[in-house]
């Protein structure tokens, strides 16, 4: 069954159109991540689903009811805020029980639900404290607990982990993942952290400027980004982009990289990478992920020499910046590769891993 259906939803704040026609469907048990840069309208979309803001146009269905005119309370949702928004004057127990109390659940049932969730999240010993007496991580758990006790149809998370330190964030991320695996709840989760998005999501909606750029499972977002924006936004370090031209002479089609700064030209044979509909001389953007670039000598078919401009060791791997055809690029090499600055080393990549985008529309071509 569909847990959430959004149809051509628009939202204006005065003259400013923040959401420009959003449509997406979500199956029950799905984990949807809204991913996008700051200000693209993620929180606004979440607020519309929650009923905290009015919809300018379009429809939102939650379960099998149209939620457009429903009060937030009647939408069968729960929400976790970035600021946690715990009620400072109430104990943790009262915070978690508040939603149940407002719905007229008996005290005994409230206590039972709070206890069940508190055990699950390991916050049983904090129940009598006030939010002010908790650490950031504990507050975060309480905020999750407050959402979980209600057992709603849909969970909404607005960047719930962004106020935690890096280590705690990773830990909570896996806990959320485990919880989701166990409870099979339907989740809409806002973040601008792409690692969070890739690890948690069953579906990702990449947004930009109030529009969905691509709505697909994480592997597809990563392996077949629909346009240059998605390609550049997902993946770290960022995908390398080069301006190029398609050449169909006699023989295999090739990509001619347009050189910059007076560098020598280079061409990449791309075999059957593109459809034959793509004409000769077509202007394209060539995208190569840093992790697709390997030291030369492996079985890859395209090999080249490049001068190393910068070496960054992350411990797990080595990030090498080099110049190809006058363009700065980055490769993510195994940690045992330790090129020195200024070295010329042999690098290679599989032409099949190249992404091609239209230079003018930035839409994916292969």
Partner 1 sequence: MAKSLQRTKRIHDWVAYGVAIFFLFFGLAPIVWLIITSFKSEGEIVNTVLTYYPHNPIATNYVDIWRQSAFPTLMMNSLQTTIMTVVICVTVGTLASYSFSQYRFPGKYALLLFYLVVRMFPAVLMIIPLFLIMRFFGLLDTSLGLALAYTSFLLPLFIWMMKGFFDALPPDLEKAARIDGCTRIGALVRVILPLVRNGLAATAIFVAIASWNEYLFALMLTTSSGSRTWPVGLQLMIGEFQLPWGLLAAGGVISIIPVVILFALVQQTMVRGLTSGAVKG
Ligand X SMILES: Nc1ncnc2c1ncn2[C@@H]1O[C@H](COP(=O)(O)OP(=O)(O)OP(=O)(O)O)[C@@H](O)[C@H]1O
Residues of the shown chain interacting with partner 1 in the complex, contacts defined by CB under 8 A? 47, 50-52, 71-73, 77-79, 81-89, 98-99, 102-103, 130-133, 146
Q: How far is the CB of 43 from ligand X (least distance, A)?
A: 3
Q: Residue 226: how many CB atoms within 10 A of its CB?
A: 19
192 binds, among Mg ion, ligand X, partner 1, none (CB under 5 to 8 A by kind): ligand X
Q: How far is the CB of 192 from Mg ion (least distance, A)?
A: 8
Give residues 176-235 in contact with ligand X (rule: CB under 6 A): 192
Angle 270-273-275 from CA coordinates, rounded to 5°? 125
Positive or negative CA dihedral for 155, 158, 160, 166?
positive
Report yes or no: 19 and 11 within 8 Å, Cβ to Cβ. yes
Q: How far apart are CA 132 and CA 220, in angstroms?
A: 43
Q: Using the rule CB under 6 A, is 51 a contact of ligand X?
A: no
Q: How far is the CB of 105 from ligand X (least distance, A)?
A: 32
Q: 288 forms bridges with which residues in the sheet?
A: 240
Complex with ligand X: residue 43 or 321, whichever CB lies closer: 43
Report yes or no: 295 and 356 within 8 Å, Cβ to Cβ. no
Q: Which two tokens stand for residue 111?
A: 């206590």
Complex with partner 1: residue 72 or 297, whichever CB lies closer: 72
Q: Using the rule CB under 6 A, is 43 a contact of ligand X?
A: yes
Q: Using the rule CB under 6 A, is 38 a contact of ligand X?
A: yes
Piece in contact with Mg ion (CB under 5 A), picked from 18-26, 38-46, 125-133, 140-148: 38-46
Q: How far apart are CA 333 and CA 263, in angstroms?
A: 24
Complex with ligand X: residue 41 or 235, whichever CB lies closer: 41
Piece in contact with ligand X (CB under 6 A), picked from 10-18, 122-130, 146-154, 301-309: 10-18
Among 33, 44, 253, 339, binds ligand X (CB under 6 A): 44
Complex with ligand X: residue 83 or 361, whichever CB lies closer: 83
Q: How far is the CB of 308 from Mg ion (least distance, A)?
A: 39
Q: How far apart are CA 260 and CA 269, in angstroms?
A: 20
Q: Using the rule CB under 6 A, is 39 a contact of ligand X?
A: yes
Complex with partner 1: residue 76 or 238, whichever CB lies closer: 76
39 binds, among ligand X, partner 1, Mg ion, none (CB under 5 to 8 A by kind): ligand X
102 binds, among partner 1, Mg ion, ligand X, none (CB under 5 to 8 A by kind): partner 1
Residues that bind Mg ion (CB under 5 A): 43
Binding site for ligand X (CB under 6 A): 13, 16, 18, 36, 38-44, 192
């Amino acid at each position: 069954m569909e847990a959430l259906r959004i149809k051509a939803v628009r939202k204006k704040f005065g003259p400013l159109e923040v959401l420009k026609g959003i449509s997406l469907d979500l199956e029950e048990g799905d984990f949807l991540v809204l991913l996008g840069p700051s200000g693209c309208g993620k929180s606004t979309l979440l607020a519309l689903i929650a009923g905290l803001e009015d919809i300018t146009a379009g429809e939102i269905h939650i379960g099998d009811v149209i939620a457009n005119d429903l009060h937030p309370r009647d939408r069968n949702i729960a929400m976790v805020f970035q600021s946690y928004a715990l009620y400072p004057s109430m104990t943790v127990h009262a915070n978690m029980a508040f939603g149940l109390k407002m719905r007229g659940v008996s005290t005994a049932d409230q206590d039972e639900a709070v206890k069940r969730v508190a055990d699950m999240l390991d916050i049983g010993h904090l129940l009598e404290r006030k939010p002010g007496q908790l650490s950031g991580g504990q507050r975060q758990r309480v905020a999750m607990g407050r959402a979980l006790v209600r057992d709603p149809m849909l969970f909404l998370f607005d960047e719930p982990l962004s106020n935690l330190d890096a280590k705690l964030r990773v830990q909570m991320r896996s806990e959320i993942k485990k919880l989701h695996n166990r409870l099979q709840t339907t989740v809409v989760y806002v973040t601008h952290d792409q690692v969070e998005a890739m690890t948690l999501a069953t579906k990702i909606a990449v947004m930009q400027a109030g529009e969905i750029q691509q709505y697909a499972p994480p592997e597809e977002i990563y392996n077949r980004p629909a346009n240059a924006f998605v390609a550049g936004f997902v993946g770290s370090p960022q995908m390398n982009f080069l301006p190029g031209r398609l050449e169909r002479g006699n023989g295999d089609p090739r990509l001619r990289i347009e050189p910059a700064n007076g560098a020598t030209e280079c061409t990449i044979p791309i075999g059957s990478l593109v459809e034959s509909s793509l004409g000769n001389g077509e202007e394209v953007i060539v995208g190569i992920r840093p992790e697709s670039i390997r030291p030369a000598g492996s079985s890859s078919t395209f090999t080249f020499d490049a001068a190393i401009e910068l070496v960054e060791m992350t411990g797990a791997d080595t990030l090498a910046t080099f110049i190809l055809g006058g363009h700065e690029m980055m490769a993510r090499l195994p940690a045992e590769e330790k090129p020195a600055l200024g070295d010329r080393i042999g690098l290679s990549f599989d032409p099949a891993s190249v992404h091609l985008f239209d230079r003018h529309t930035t839409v994916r071509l292969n």
